[in-house]
Chain A
Amino acid sequence: MFNEMFSYAFMVRATIAILLISPLFGMVGTMIVQKRMAYFSDALGHSALTGIAAGVIMGIANTTISMVIFGICFALLLNYISRKGLSSSDTLISVFASCATALGLAILSRGGSFANYSAILVGDILSITASEIIQLIVLFVVILVFWCISINRLTAISIHATLAKSRSISVRIMEDAFAVLIALLVMLSIKWVGILLINALLILPAASSRNISDNYREYTYLSVIFSVFSGVVGLFVSYFTDMATGPMIVIIASVIYFATYIYGKDR
């Protein structure tokens, strides 16, 4: 059964991609859940459409570049306006997300051509190429290095920003750096996961882990385990049942979430 599965080059590439993306989702997801940024990452995912639209308007052939640039600008702008405190952050994120999505849809659907871009809504990990895997390896290394260097400072900020500031931690720089990190992860993996599901993959493993964890180390390890497990099992099931991979991964991750929720509630 497994021999047949790995006799296809596309499955080998998809498995490598899952093994690269899913631990990142598990890891970064912990901080997103901790800092209550679920809506922020969702908004970033939706803004991918505008990133593509910007690329189309500017004639950039590789829309991944325009998506990444737009995503980073979008994340930094959101942080900047949120800090001004003129409105609650959920309202601001909602306004930005709706505006970005509408702008992207309006531009891309001009002349009825949205169908050309709609594949990004659901993603397609099976069509990933070798050069795109190299891109994911670079992303993996960058995020891992950032994580090792900054995790203590990020955790301190997430617990108490003022206290972190008093310990000479530059809250603003760290928050911006983390927002850029999320933008990079979301924009570079959205083509494989899809706009509709990317947030579920970021949030579910971390939320499941949070249901049963007693300390931050446990929280991170379990989140990564749940994320990788959902990715591998989801890919396996989707391969043999001919269902889309992204939704299958989310279904497995959801089962884990509900099980840990019930267990965590009764502890």
Chain B
Amino acid sequence: MKNKFLFVLLLLISISVVSFCSTFFYVKYNKTEVARDDILVMTSCNPIYIATTNVVGDIDGVTVENLSQPTTGCLHDYTLTTEDMKNLAACDVLIVNGGGMEGYLDDVIAAYPKLTVIDTFEAIEDSYPVIKEDEEAEEDVEEHIHGEASEEHHHHGEFNSHVWMSEDIYSGQIEAIAEGLSNVDNSHAKEYMANATLFNNNLGKYIDKADVEAGLKGENVAILHEAFAYTAQSIGANVVATMDLDEERQVSAGEVSSFIDEIVDNNVKVVFAEYDYGSSMGKLIEEQTDAKVVYLETLVHGTYDKDDYITVLNKNYALIHNSL
């Protein structure tokens, strides 16, 4: 009897000691501290992180960190880690893509009601050609335009929120970030606006899509990830068939056959897909039709490099051009 309780006591103490020691050493070798005087800006995903680091530039006393790790799969179902929650508790402003992209946003706003959130989608949705996902979205837009929808009931889930894939809309997001940061940190407002202008100029200067535009403008394309609807929009191509594939998506046989029929009927030459979730379907499409499947990047994963946006978009356009 005594031995048993001694065993339980020793077991729990041993687990506590091992847990405490391993945690202590993990923290010791992995912890990075943000200076307390710094303004901590959190971003929700790689494209927003890139835009924000370019807008912040070399301004002293402003630190930018991203919530999602580069290895995270889909942004919609990203679950916040303890590190994210700590950063959110300590940060001065959270910049999000918005439009329903960050599924955790409502929880964050509920947990930190005083946190300043810059919603870039909200800033651009009325002035840029945001793509609607279904008919309901049209009603939503109508309501919004006529001011009939209340703020509480205006959900953006009906829109395709992968707006960063269009460099035109992305430039609007960059401006929204600069304006939002200027409101939070007024002393650096001029620098934020100047950096945003410089980055937007660089987008126009270094993103090369002339060849792709020449080859696909007005042509029909199909997509296997809704992010590429903006790639098509950017080069003036018409999306005639969409099948949104991700890690949780199971497609029905009927859906596949009607997708293939659309490709054949509309004489689609190119299909845009993401390799991780679209490669199996891509092979099937290439077998069944004359269309070529091009595997592009969605920018959700990245190297956190300031120039990553331009590099990836140029790579995408080069891949499309090579397929023509």
Proximity string of chain B (1-20) to chain A, C-beta cutoff 8 Å, 1 when within and 0 when not: 10010011001100110011
Chain A contacts for B83, CB-based, 8 A: 242
Q: Flag if B85 contacts A240 (CB, 8 Å).
A: no
A-B contact count (CB 8 A): 103
Q: Which residue of A8, A11, A252 contacts B19 across the interface (Cβ within 8 Å)?
A: A252
* Also in contact, A238 and B82, with CB within 8 A (given A9-B89, A127-B104): yes
Q: Flag if A124 contacts B76 (CB, 8 Å).
A: no
A126 within 8 A of B: yes
Q: Flag if A233 contacts B15 (CB, 8 Å).
A: yes
Report the bound CA distance from A242 to B1 in whole Å.
39
Report the bound CA distance from A241 to B19 in whole Å.
10
Q: Which residue of A116, A239, A245 contacts B103 across the interface (Cβ within 8 Å)?
A: A116
Report the bound CA distance from A237 to B23 in whole Å.
6
* Also in contact, A212 and B82, with CB within 8 A (given A118-B77, A118-B248): no
* Also in contact, A10 and B85, with CB within 8 A (given A212-B8, A233-B15, A233-B16): yes
Majority DSSP secondary structure for residues of A touching B: helix
Q: Beyond A114-B248, A116-B157, A233-B16, list 18 extra A-B contacts (CB 8 Å).
A: A1-B24, A109-B249, A115-B74, A115-B246, A116-B103, A124-B104, A127-B111, A129-B107, A229-B15, A233-B15, A241-B23, A241-B27, A242-B82, A243-B81, A244-B79, A245-B82, A255-B15, A267-B4
Q: Flag if A116 contacts B76 (CB, 8 Å).
A: yes
Number of interface residues of A (CB under 8 A): 41
Q: Flag if A127 contacts B107 (CB, 8 Å).
A: yes
Interface residues of A in 1-53 (CB under 8 A from B): 1, 8-11
Q: Flag if A129 contacts B89 (CB, 8 Å).
A: no
Q: Flag if A124 contacts B79 (CB, 8 Å).
A: yes
A222 within 8 A of B: yes
B168 within 8 A of A: no
Report the bound CA distance from A9 to B85 in whole Å.
10
* Also in contact, A212 and B249, with CB within 8 A (given A9-B89, A233-B16, A259-B11): no
Q: Flag if B82 contacts A222 (CB, 8 Å).
A: no
Chain B contacts for A238, CB-based, 8 A: 82
Q: Flag if B12 contacts A229 (CB, 8 Å).
A: yes
> CB-nearest residue of chain B relative to A240?
B23
Chain A contacts for B85, CB-based, 8 A: 8, 10-11, 126-127
Interface residues of A in 168-204 (CB under 8 A from B): none
Q: Flag if A126 contacts B19 (CB, 8 Å).
A: no
Chain A contacts for B19, CB-based, 8 A: 233, 236-237, 252
Interface residues of B in 96-130 (CB under 8 A from A): 103-104, 107-108, 110-111
Q: Flag if A109 contacts B23 (CB, 8 Å).
A: no
* Also in contact, A8 and B89, with CB within 8 A (given A112-B246, A242-B82, A256-B15): yes
B213 within 8 A of A: no
B250 within 8 A of A: yes
Proximity string of chain A (221-234) to chain B, C-beta cutoff 8 Å, 1 when within and 0 when not: 01001000100010
